[in-house]
């Protein structure tokens, strides 16, 4: 699946896919990735120009029936469409810091439109989401599409998609008399992101290097995740809040907390010391401000 990251989150964001050529002496040279700041300026200008000169089929989304979810269509503002409202005049934005291999942070801006918010809970960046989606390039080529809902692990998809889905809410699940089901009032929106929040210099068969991406998403429903079944939701194991779950390792045993059944390596399973009184607050027996499940003293 093309929106799935093929490696861990940090790896995808800093990965330098290597273009190789042999020198006369048989050595292999690698071409370094473009500078994040310079590349983002170039792509952000391209994205803004694209949004100013294109519109989406917003009229198809007006007065939606609860079960409707039209396909996103983007077209140029010209000819018969000269009076359409541009995407630029309808978007909001969010900024995400991208970390390079040296730990330096580079802000990247993504632009989005919420067409219908939905009526249920919002997912987190850690949850499993049941979605329909369509992925496009700025030239409007479709590189991936799911017309039937599919489960995705939000933490395993490209960063811009991961950070966008929590802005949508799930819909209602309705069971029909024949045992089938359908969804109504689900969240619908789309996001336009620079390549630093996508694949950056990692080209695929139909996504060139340094390609900004567009995703339409229809958020049907979600499941909260607890990857290690330790009763601590995975989102709560992202202790530094950077949406990278692989760099939180309380006991430094090389097993990230979200996969570690004993987060502090004190010999007591996390599930047996997290919230024994069931009040929804992590227990802190010695009152030192460190929850028992992270405190090995």
In the prediction, which pLDDT does 30 show?
A: 65
Model confidence pLDDT, tens digit, residues 110-143: 999 999 999 999 999 999 999 999 999 999 999 9
Report yes or no: 70 and 61 within 8 Å, Cβ to Cβ. Answer: yes
Q: Which of 5, 36, 14, 1 is nearest to 158 (CA)?
A: 5
Nearest to 258 by CA among 250, 39, 290, 213: 250
d(CA 51, CA 193): 12
Helix (H, G, I), strand (E, B) or coil at 131: strand
Q: Give the model confidence (pLDDT) of 61-109 as tens digits.
A: 998 889 888 999 999 999 999 999 999 999 999 999 998 878 889 999 9
- Given a cut of 70, whether residue 13 has pLDDT beyond it is no
Is pLDDT of 224 > 60? Answer: yes
For the ranges 16-20, 265-269, 274-278, the lowest mean pLDDT is seen at: 16-20
C-alpha distances in Å from residue 288, one per residue of 29, 195, 297: 53, 43, 10
Q: At residue 272, does pLDDT exceed 70?
A: yes
The mean predicted confidence, pLDDT, of the chain is 89
Residue 9 — pLDDT band, cuts 50, 70, 90? very low
Domain residue extents for the chain: 9-20+29-223, 226-297
CA-CA-CA-CA dihedral for 82, 136, 202, 218, to nearest 10: 130
| CATH code assigned to 9-20+29-223 | 3.10.50.40
């Amino acid at each position: 699946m093309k929106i799935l990251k093929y490696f861990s989150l940090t790896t995808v964001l800093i990965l330098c896919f290597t273009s190789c050529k042999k020198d006369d002496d048989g050595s292999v040279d690698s071409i370094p990735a473009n500078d994040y700041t310079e590349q983002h300026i170039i792509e952000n200008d391209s994205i803004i120009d694209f949004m100013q000169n294109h519109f989406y089929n917003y009229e198809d989304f007006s007065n939606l029936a609860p079960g409707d979810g039209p396909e996103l269509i983007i077209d140029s503002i010209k000819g018969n469409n000269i009076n359409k409202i541009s995407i630029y005049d309808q978007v909001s934005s969010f900024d995400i810091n991208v970390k390079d291999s040296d730990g330096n942070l580079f802000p990247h801006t993504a632009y989005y439109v919420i067409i219908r918010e939905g009526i249920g809970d919002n997912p987190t960046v850690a949850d499993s989401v049941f979605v329909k989606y369509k992925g496009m390039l700025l030239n409007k080529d479709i590189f991936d599409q799911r017309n039937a809902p599919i489960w995705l692990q939000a933490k395993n998809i490209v960063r811009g998609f991961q950070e966008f889905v929590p802005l949508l809410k799930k819909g209602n699940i309705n069971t029909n008399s024949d045992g089938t089901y359908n969804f109504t009032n689900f969240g619908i929106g789309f996001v336009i992101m620079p390549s630093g929040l996508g694949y950056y210099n990692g080209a695929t068969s139909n996504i060139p290097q340094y390609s900004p991406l567009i995703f339409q998403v229809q958020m049907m429903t979600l499941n909260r995740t607890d990857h290690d079944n330790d009763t601590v939701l995975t989102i709560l194991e992202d202790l530094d809040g950077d949406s990278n779950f692989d760099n939180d390792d309380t006991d430094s045993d090389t097993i990230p907390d979200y996969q570690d059944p004993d987060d502090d390596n004190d010999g007591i399973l996390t599930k047996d010391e997290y919230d024994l009184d069931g009040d929804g607050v992590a227990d802190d027996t010695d009152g030192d401000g460190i929850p028992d499940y992270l405190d090995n003293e």
